[in-house]
Structure 1
């Protein structure tokens, strides 16, 4: 389970490990950043606002593709 303060790394990979010329990451359908020299997005330290659905979009020699959606859940600690 993920906890607030953890580090989470999301990786975008093409099928058959094809080379990617660029990768975009999306959180809840909003573009976060475009990476031209990497395929990883690091969430650190993990905070409640990081929770939600993530996808990546990449470009390979055959065109653009969408990666599989991943759900990140950040439980909020309960104080009593």
Structure 2
């Protein structure tokens, strides 16, 4: 058409593998659930499915193409693959590297009202401590004056 132009080029990879191991992500946190799916080309029926971690068999099923790890930990990191038969022909997927990492230390942020509360409590403590020592010093002075016989108590300037 008159007002159109060519789009930017797009790179397209076409998989020719009979089996593909699918996962929602490659990096998980400890405690996450990992779900792997062994998917066949053109969604052909798949049977005799085995999942592997680092070459070691983890799960075999006649028809279940899903493998789940409910609460992942760091030992679940590794290279995963699957093997299954399409019809009577066995196929293997390429491996997928999955990493399970420790959760990051959460940053604890205090809301403004909690910060204000702690600052006010500190200020009140400082004022209270200052008053305690000031009143204590005045009381000490009054007791010493009371014990001194030369000091006479009076109510006002007319009593002097």
Q: Which has the higher contact order (CA 8 A, sep 6+)?
A: 1
Q: Structure 1 segments of 4 or more deviating over 6 A?
A: none
Larger radius of gyration: 2
> TM (normalized to structure 2)?
0.46
Matched position secondary structure for 2:36: strand
CA contact (8 A) 2:73 2:101 kept: no
Q: Using the alignment, how far apart are the partners of 2:42 and 2:77 within structure 1?
A: 29
TM-score (norm: length of structure 1): 0.88
Task: Please tell me whether the aligned partners of residues 78 and 98 of structure 2 are also in contact (alpha carbons under 8 angstroms).
Answer: yes
Structure 1: gaps spanning 5 or more residues: none
CA distance in structure 2 between the partners assigned to 1:14 and 1:31 by the alignment: 19
Q: 1:47 aligns with which of 66, 73, 79?
A: 73
Number of matched pairs: 79
Q: Which moved more, 1:63-72 or 1:51-60?
A: 63-72
How far does residue 67 in structure 1 lie from its aligned partner after superposition? Answer: 1.1
CA distance in 1: counterparts of 2:65 and 2:59, whole angstroms = 11
Which deviations, in whole Å up to 9, do the C-alpha atoms of 1:25-67 show, x marking residues without a partner? 0000011121113101001101110000000000111501001
Matches of residues 31-42 of structure 1 in structure 2 within 5 Å? 31-42=57-68
Higher helix share: 2
Aligned to 1:30: 56
